[in-house]
Amino acid sequence: MNGQLPTATKPSIQTIVSVEALLESAADDPTISTLLEALFIGNQRLLTPMLQMLRPEMIDEYLDSARVIWNAISAMSDQDPSTRLDEIIKGLQFHSVDFLRRQVAFARTGDYQAEDAQTVYEEVYHSASVMKEYLDGLLLTYIAWPNHYRLLQFYRDSYLAQGPSGRCLEVGPGHGFLALLQIQSHEDNTLLGIDISPYSVAYSKECLAAAGVDGSRFEIRLGDATDNYANVTECFDRIVMAEVLEHVEQPQTLLRSAVKCSHDQTLIFLSTVVNIEAIDHLYLYRSIEEVRQMIDDCGLTIVEELDMPLEFASEASESYEVALICRPKPK
């Protein structure tokens, strides 16, 4: 890659980091260059907000994240890298376009469309074709959507950087990327993951194995976490429930189980959405205050919070992604 883009492919919106500069920074790593070209040139419209968010001092960390994600994604499949790349880009397009379409419908109706947990299970979590695109696409959003990249920074810099190490639980690991970072963040960390989708279980296991994590450090189990954390009775040092609360009918059950499986120092990472629709969103939080109130009612104290408004949402809709670091209230 010589770093020169044809004029016609340059984004028309002002950015601080240019596509050329980004690709130039990745020039000595051909794999990442190919991924970034596919994203920032092949899908320029989708990636412009991400480009607008980047600052020169963020590039090294951004490339590191892209490398970890691409290594996991490519090692997880026997396909040649370019076929795999096409596949994951399709997943990202599915996620992004489906998301916009549903958000427009939500703005009209004011309600999420998914019927109930059983239907979501049958149509999404138990469907091989849906989950393939879903998990590939969701994983890529961590370097393609500004809010997910911010969330990733918060997870790394504020959550993983503090608190006890040791036994970790992740509810709904999905693609397994956050589980991977949790395990890698401390040599003492071992992790149990519980996910309702057999495809998420398989994907998470592959993601961790592809990154070279020893099998003795993790177990990913199939189970419904709303059922008393799939009857797990252990006490954990760290608990992660990222983008899961809005996927169940009664998030309170998950929050209360987190409290039950905690000791005084357990550090809990939660993320959820307010007024943001998706194929499998069941519980509608209508304000950030409602999220905070439920967390408090269920026995947790918020110690840090990151609120990320949806860029293009109207002010009236108050759409947010929210990430929170919590501790159980003293028992």
Ligand X SMILES: C[S@@+](CC[C@H](N)C(=O)[O-])C[C@H]1O[C@@H](n2cnc3c(N)ncnc32)[C@H](O)[C@@H]1O
**Strand ranges (E), the chain:** 167-171, 190-195, 218-222, 236-242, 262-274, 300-309, 320-328
The reply to whether 242 sits near ligand X by the rule CB under 6 A is: yes
Q: Which of 197, 166, 162 is nearest to 183 (CA)?
A: 166
The reply to whether 174 sits near ligand X by the rule CB under 6 A is: yes
Number of residues that bind ligand X (CB under 6 A): 20
Shortest distance, position 19 Cβ to ligand X, whole Å: 26
Is the CB of 19 or the CB of 139 nearer to ligand X?
139
The CA-atom distances, in angstroms, between 141 and each of 26, 90, 137, 304 are: 19, 12, 6, 23
Shortest distance, position 145 Cβ to ligand X, whole Å: 11
Is the CB of 33 or the CB of 99 nearer to ligand X?
99
Is the CB of 170 or the CB of 237 nearer to ligand X?
170
Tokens of 95: 């996620």
Is the CB of 33 or the CB of 197 nearer to ligand X?
197
Q: Which of 40, 53, 37, 32 is nearest to 11 (CA)?
A: 40
Is the CB of 225 or the CB of 267 nearer to ligand X?
225
Q: Say how many Å lie between the first and final Cα of the chain, rounded.
A: 58
Contact 328, 288 (CB under 8 A): no
Q: Kindly indicate which of the ranges 5-13, 31-39, 65-73, 171-179 contains the residues binding ligand X, using the contact rule CB under 6 A.
A: 171-179
List the one residue from 22, 152, 248, 298 that touches ligand X (CB under 6 A).
248
List the one residue from 25, 65, 226, 272 that touches ligand X (CB under 6 A).
226
Strands 262-274 and 236-242: parallel
Binding mask 119-138 for ligand X (x = CB under 6 A): ------x------------x
Q: Which of 33, 22, 267 is nearest to 155 (CA)?
A: 267
Is the CB of 125 or the CB of 159 nearer to ligand X?
125
Q: Kindly indicate which of the ranges 39-47, 103-111, 236-244, 262-270 contains the residues binding ligand X, using the contact rule CB under 6 A.
A: 236-244
Dist. CA 47–CA 40, nearest whole Å: 6
Q: Which of 74, 240, 209, 70 is nearest to 144 (CA)?
A: 70
Is the CB of 118 or the CB of 216 nearer to ligand X?
118
Helix, strand, coil: what percent of the chain each, to 5?
55, 15, 30
The reply to whether 195 sits near ligand X by the rule CB under 6 A is: yes
The reply to whether 200 sits near ligand X by the rule CB under 6 A is: yes
The reply to whether 225 sits near ligand X by the rule CB under 6 A is: yes
Is the CB of 136 or the CB of 195 nearer to ligand X?
195
Query: Position 165: which residue type?
Result: S
Shortest distance, position 13 Cβ to ligand X, whole Å: 27
264 has which bridge partners? none
Interface positions with ligand X (CB under 6 A): 125, 138, 171-174, 178, 194-197, 200, 224-226, 242-244, 247-248
